[in-house]
Structure 1
C-alpha cells in the first residue's frame, strides 16, 4: 500500500481506500453483515486504513459494520462518515444545527465510537454552503470531542470552492474520474494552496469505466443505474457521472485502444491517482474480490504523459460538452 497525507488533517491514509455505499449488499437489498465484514477485513488486511461511510448507507447498518471493524483492530483506522442526507424533504430550510448535531450523535452510537475522525456534510443543497451557522455548529462538536475534523461531500465544483472558504473545512469529497475532469482546474489549484484534503469518489463512473458493460447489460430494477439516469431519485451526476450511457460506452471503447489488454478499472483508478492533489480514491466493493482488484492498482506503473493526454483528448472531444458545465 502507498499512503498520502489528507491535507491539513495530518491523517496519513491509504491512497486507495474504501467507500462503503455497496458494502453489505447491492442498492436496495437487505444489509448483509457477514458480507460487509468480509469486504472490510479484506481491505484492512491489505493496508487500507481509511473507510468512508454514511448514516444513510444501509440505514445505519454500514456505520455499525465499520464501527465493529474499527473496535476490533488495534491499528489506527480512520473513519469518515457523512450526515444530512436523512433530512426529508432534503431542502435547505430543513438543515439546522440541531438536526445535524442529532445525526452526528446517532452516527457515534451506530459505530460505538467516542469520536468520528472526519464528518462530512453529505451533498447538501447548494444554499447550505452559504450559511455560516451550519459550519459553526461543527466547531462546537470539535471542541466537545465528538468529531476530530470536518469535511464536505459535494456535487459541484462551485460548492467545493465555497466550502473551503470556511476555515474549519479540511477536506472535500468530490466526483473525479476520466469522465468528470472539471475539478482539475480552479478547485484543485485553490485546494492545493489551502492544503485541503481531496477524497475522489465514483472513480469508475458507476462501473462504466471498468469496460465490463455493453448495450446489452441490464441492471436490477432497484439499482440506481436503472432508475436514476435522469436524476429521478438524486443528483444524476452520481450515476455514470452524469454521462449518457451509450455515449459513455463509445468513449470507453476509445480508452480501451489507449490501454489494450489492460484492466480498465485499475487504469481508471490509477488515472485519478496521477493527480497529486488527490489524497485518496474510494472505490466501492460489493464483494471481497473487488477489493483485491481495486488494490492491485497500487502495483501499476505510472501512466505516461502520452496516455494522460490521450484520455484528456477523449474527454474534450466526446464528454466535456455534456457534463463539464453542470458540475
Structure 2
C-alpha cells in the first residue's frame, strides 16, 4: 500500500485505513467480533494501519481495543480517536476512558470531534502531546456546512491533522479546506468517501466504465476511493466497513495509479449521469 508523509513530521502513513462508526459497534457479539478481526487482519496484511474511532460510536473503541489485543496488533495500528464533550475535566476523563478501551497507554492521534468546546480541549491536547500521551492532535467535522469554522481554526491554531468529509459528489473541501491544509502543512484524513454510503449504493447496479481499468479499479468503491486519494493534500481515507470482503476491495485503492485531472472530471460526470 502507498504511504504518504504526515506533514508535521514526515512520518509515513498508509493511505487507506478503517473507520469504525456503526460497523464496530457490536458489543460482545462473538460472531460479529470474529468478522471484525478478519477486517483488521486484511487491513494489516495489506500494509494499512489507521483505525479511526470515537467515544460517541457506542462500543466501537472497546471492540477495536479488544481485537487489537486478541490479534497482538497494537504495534501495527495507528489509532485515531476523539474527544467529544464540554469542559476540561470531562475531556480528560473521556480521553482516559478511550485509552482504557483501546488497551494502550498512548493514542497516536487525538481529535476534537465536531469542534465541540475546541478551545478547552485543544489546550489539554497540547499538554498531552508534550507529555507523550498522544502523538498527534487534530480537529474533525463530518459536514461541509461547518467548513467556515474548520477553516478559522486551521488558520488560527497549529494542528497536525484535520478530518473532513470529501467525496466525488461532495467536493466542497476542494474550495478552501484542502488547499489550506497543504499551505499550513496539516495532514488530511477523509471520512465519508462514499457519500455516507448513499453514493456507492446508487452505483452498485451500474456497469463499471472501461476507463476504470486505466487506474487498476475493479469496483466502484475503488474508483471513489482513488478519486479522493488523487488529491495531493489528502493523507489517508477511512472508509468504514464491518465485512472482510469489503476491506479487501477497499485496500486495493491504496495501490497502483490515481486518476489525473481529466479522469477525475470523467468520474464526476459518470456519477452525475
TM-score range, shorter chain: 0.7 to 0.9
Who is 2:114 aligned against?
Answer: 123
Distance 1:167 1:304, change over 3 A: closer
Q: 2 CA distance for matches of 1:21 and 1:29?
A: 16
> Which deviations, in whole Å up to 9, do the C-alpha atoms of 1:64-94 show, x marking residues without a partner?
2354268x1375421111120xx4xxxxxxx
Q: 1 CA distance for matches of 2:262 and 2:198?
A: 23
Match of 2:122 among 132, 135, 154: 135
Who is 2:58 aligned against?
Answer: 58
Q: Is the 8 A contact 2:25 2:57 kept in 1?
A: no
Comparing 8-17 with 171-180, which one deviates more in the overlay?
A: 8-17
Distance 1:25 1:168, change over 3 A: same
Who is 1:284 aligned against?
Answer: 240
Q: 1 CA distance for matches of 2:100 and 2:44?
A: 22
SS in 2 for 1:207: helix
Match of 1:205 among 183, 195, 200: 195
TM-score in terms of structure 1 length: 0.71
Who is 1:264 aligned against?
Answer: 220
SS in 2 for 1:191: helix
Q: 2 CA distance for matches of 1:198 and 1:106?
A: 26
> Which deviations, in whole Å up to 9, do the C-alpha atoms of 1:37-76 show, x marking residues without a partner?
2211221111112211222323342342354268x13754
Q: 1 CA distance for matches of 2:10 and 2:270?
A: 36
SS in 1 for 2:82: strand
Distance 1:167 1:308, change over 3 A: same
Are 1:33 and 2:23 an aligned pair? no
Q: Is the 8 A contact 1:38 1:288 kept in 2?
A: yes
Over the aligned positions, Cα root-mean-square deviation in angstroms equals 3.0
Who is 1:68 aligned against?
Answer: 69
Q: Is the 8 A contact 2:187 2:235 kept in 1?
A: yes
> Which deviations, in whole Å up to 9, do the C-alpha atoms of 1:233-276 show, x marking residues without a partner?
xxxxxxxxxxxxxxxxxxx96x9668578511110000001101
SS in 1 for 2:111: strand
Match of 1:145 among 132, 157, 169: 132
Are 1:165 and 2:155 an aligned pair? yes
Who is 2:182 aligned against?
Answer: 192
Q: 2 CA distance for matches of 1:177 and 1:58?
A: 25
TM-score in terms of structure 2 length: 0.84
SS in 2 for 1:39: helix
1:172, CA displacement in angstroms?
A: 0.5
Are 1:297 and 2:253 an aligned pair? yes
SS in 2 for 1:183: helix
> Which deviations, in whole Å up to 9, do the C-alpha atoms of 1:287-309 show, x marking residues without a partner?
11111011122345432433212
1:168, CA displacement in angstroms?
A: 4.0
Distance 1:75 1:102, change over 3 A: closer
Q: Is the 8 A contact 1:33 1:65 kept in 2?
A: no
Aligned length: 264
- TM alignment of 1:177-188, pairs within 5 A: 177-188=167-178
Match of 1:308 among 252, 264, 268: 264
> Which deviations, in whole Å up to 9, do the C-alpha atoms of 1:128-174 show, x marking residues without a partner?
34xx3332121122233221211111132223212223544210010
Q: Is the 8 A contact 1:24 1:35 kept in 2?
A: no
